[in-house]
Each structure stands twice: as C-alpha cells, then as structure tokens.
C-alpha cells in the first residue's frame, strides 16, 4: 500500500498502552479480546441496587500507587490514573528514552469525554455535608478534562502541544487523529495520544439510566452488551484508558523502532441532527469514513476490517450498519466488522483509544476480535460481525469508527507498514 506522503509526514504507532478490566496492559487486554472474554459484571464501586442498570466493566484489583506517587494519586481523579499509567506503558513500549529526547518536540493529547466524575461527586458531597471549607483545593485540577494530558507532560517534561480533547464518545479517536495532524504539520515529532475515562459512579449511572440508554440485563452481566443482536437494550459502561505513541515515520525508522502500523488518515464530521440520536441515514458517519479512506488513498475494497462503534443500543447499531453498507457497497457483504464493546463495555471518551489498541493488535497478530453475544442477529444488522469467536485473517488496513453525543463522528484508518 503506497502513499504519496514523504516519510517525514507519515505518522506511525510505535507504542501502545491499555488499562481495562480485561487486562492492565495491552498484551493482557488483547489476549482477553482474542479469547472472547466478557469483561462485564455487577458494579462493585458503589451499591448499584437502586439503579436500573447495575452492571459495568470495571477495572478491578487496581493499585495506582504502584505506578504513581501516592501523594499525586490522591490529588488526581481515577480517570487521570488510568490515562497516566496507560501513557507510561505506551512510552515504555515505544522504546523512547525520554530523558534523551528534545522535550519541545513531544506533545500529549489524552482526552476524556467526562473527566473527573468521581472527584465531582465526592467533593459535592463534602460541600453539602460539611460546608465549603471542607472542599479540597485540588478539586478543580482533578476534575477538568485536560489534566491527564497535563500530568503526563509534567512526568516527561514534554513541552509540545498539550490540551484535552472533549467530544463525548468520539474523544479518543479525535485525539489520535489531531495528534497525527500535529506531526504532519511539524508541530511535534512525537505525540502521546488517546483517551481515559472513569464514569462508573452513582451520578453518571443515574443520569444515563434516566435517559434509558443503559442495559438493564442485570441478571446476566456477561451477555448484556450484545451489539447488532436482536433484543439489545442499551450500552454497558466501561472504564479505563487506551493510549498510543505516534511518531514521524522517518524518525521511527532512523531509531529502529518497532512499528505497529501507520495512522494513514483520520476524518471528523457532524451529524447536525440531534443531541443524542445518530442520523438515521448515517450521513455524518458515512462522510467521515469516506473522507478517511480518501485521506489514506484507499478504495473501499482495500479495507480488511472495521472496528465498529457498535454500542449495543437499538439505533446506533442499525444506523452504523446502514452507513457502512452505503459506503462500501458490494464489499460490505464480505468485509468483517466487529464491536469489541461486546466485551469491553462502552468506555465513552476512552472508547476510541482502547479500540485503536485492538485494531493495531489485529494488524500485528492478523487476528480479528469477535463480537460476542451475537446469537440472534437483528435482521437490519446483516453484515459479517465476526460472531462469537476470533478469526485469523489478512489484516492490512482497518477502519475504526466512533460517534459522540452532539452528533460528532470520527473515523481513523490504520494500516500495516
């Protein structure tokens, strides 16, 4: 697969990091995905009994102080803990010796769709119960959505581009795509990019349950997230982080770095339709996918696999399927499409990060992760969703989709170098 870009403007992935209940690093996470392991169980971080949805994909047996100074850990929210550690994993995996790099050429773009929700709830409770003087002075820094990027930059002394991307469930894909453009423009030579989220909290659950957006299949958590399946009844919340190290191709080659794949293109569009429901004709997503393919100089038939947004909500799965069929035409019938959310739950702003890790691992391993819990497909969802078991396949070019409340769409193309 050739490209017209010079090597200095091509952007490749040289490091990956992942934190999830299915694995506290990228290799463990990927092994669970290949095995078709469900990561969803009854919520343990609070008493879920009063809530319509009582299940989630939690990160358990987690001690952030093994990776972060305990004082700093107390001053930061759980979402930052996830993003901070996943960033460290990605940098270590990349082989970069950060103390020998030019810090002015290194940037960080680790976004969050919601930010420090746990901090918000804890400190609001303190305000109500004990008064304003008992609210922590670290409240605002801990809950804002850009602080994870700031903490990663402080840790590495990275003085390049640094801010927080916020676009609901499209956040991490937007972060990765914008980081790619920063390298292409010459704003940075290395970018640490992805997403982190920790919204398994009472207020978040109450809010999403009020919208009737979450699954209430509480009696059987492992099967609750069932994208494209008849009888799906909503998404299941997940938490964690997925972070990539992006690097100019010429730079990565010169230092002999391991390359997982190229960020070949990215596109962002809006539905301009509704605050929560996707466009019923999939116009915005279709345009994002089309522009991403054009940017990658690929035809629809060149894509070997699509990692779908696939939330397990009635509308999203149907409309995304329609958008894929319209863009890919005859190729759609033979092109594998799967939703790893069937195992991971929906990580909101971190979804695109953790799913990008899955895409790059699929290229590396030549294995497609499955859509589990697909027993009775919805007749309106009639593609090859890699049902229930992983599959060995040729995987040279993949497309990953993410959609966010507000009608925000993001599509990114990864390909083998």
Q: Mutual orientation of helices 314-328 and 283-295 as an angle, nearest 10°?
A: 40
309: annotated active-site residue:
yes
**Catalytic residue (one of 81, 309, 359, 381):** 309
148: annotated active-site residue:
no
**Catalytic residue (one of 20, 24, 81, 346):** 346
CA atoms 323, 324, 327, 330: torsion sign: negative
Cα-based distances in Å from 31 to 101, 162, 331, 370: 32, 32, 29, 12
d(CA 55, CA 155): 34
274: annotated active-site residue:
no
d(CA 9, CA 249): 7
φ, ψ at 154 (rounded to 5°): -60, -45
Q: Cβ(321)–Cβ(413) under 8 Å?
A: no
CA dihedral 32, 33, 34, 36 (to 10 degrees): 90
Residue 43: partners with Cβ closer than 8 Å, 6 or more residues away: 54, 55, 56, 58, 200, 205
d(CA 52, CA 68): 35
d(CA 350, CA 344): 11
**Catalytic residue (one of 169, 174, 359, 381):** 169
Enzyme catalytic residues: 169, 309, 346
């Amino acid at each position: 697969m050739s490209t017209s870009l010079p090597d200095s403007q091509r952007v490749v992935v040289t490091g990956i990091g992942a934190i999830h209940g299915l694995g506290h690093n990228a290799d463990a996470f990927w092994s669970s995905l290949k095995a078709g392991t469900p990561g969803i169980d009854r919520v343990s971080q609070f008493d879920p009994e009063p809530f319509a949805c009582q299940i989630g994909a939690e990160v358990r047996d987690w001690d952030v102080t093994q990776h972060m100074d305990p004082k700093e850990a107390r001053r930061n929210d759980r979402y930052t803990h996830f993003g901070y550690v996943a960033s460290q994993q990605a940098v270590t995996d990349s082989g970069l010796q950060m103390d020998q790099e030019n810090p002015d050429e290194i940037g960080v773009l680790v976004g969050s769709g919601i930010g420090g929700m746990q901090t918000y709830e804890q400190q609001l409770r303190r305000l109500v119960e004990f008064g304003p003087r008992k609210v922590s002075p670290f409240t605002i820094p801990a809950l804002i959505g850009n602080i994870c990027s700031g903490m990663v930059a402080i840790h590495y002394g990275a003085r390049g581009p640094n801010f927080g991307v916020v676009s609901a469930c499209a956040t991490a894909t937007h972060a990765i795509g914008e980081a790619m453009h920063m390298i292409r423009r010459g704003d940075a030579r290395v970018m640490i990019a992805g997403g982190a989220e920790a919204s398994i909290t009472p207020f978040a659950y109450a809010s999403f349950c009020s919208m009737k957006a979450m699954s209430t299949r509480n009696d059987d958590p492992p099967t609750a997230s069932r994208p494209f399946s008849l009888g799906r009844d909503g998404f299941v919340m997940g938490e964690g982080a997925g972070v990539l190290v992006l690097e100019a191709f010429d730079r990565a080659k010169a230092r002999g770095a391991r390359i997982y794949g190229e960020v070949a293109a990215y596109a962002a569009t809006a539905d301009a339709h509704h605050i929560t429901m996707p466009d019923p004709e999939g116009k915005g997503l279709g345009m994002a996918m089309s522009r991403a393919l054009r940017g990658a100089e690929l035809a629809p038939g060149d894509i070997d696999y699509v990692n779908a947004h696939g939330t397990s909500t009635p509308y999203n799965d149907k409309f995304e399927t329609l958008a894929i069929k319209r863009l890919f035409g005859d190729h759609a019938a033979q092109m594998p499409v799967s939703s790893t959310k069937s195992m991971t739950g929906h990580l909101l702003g971190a979804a695109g990060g953790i799913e990008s890790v899955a895409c790059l691992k699929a290229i590396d391993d030549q294995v497609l992760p499955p859509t589990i819990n697909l027993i009775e497909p919805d007749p309106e969802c009639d593609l090859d969703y890699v049902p229930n078991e992983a599959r060995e396949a040729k995987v040279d070019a993949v497309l990953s989709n993410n959609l966010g409340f507000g009608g925000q769409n993001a599509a990114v193309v990864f390909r083998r170098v």
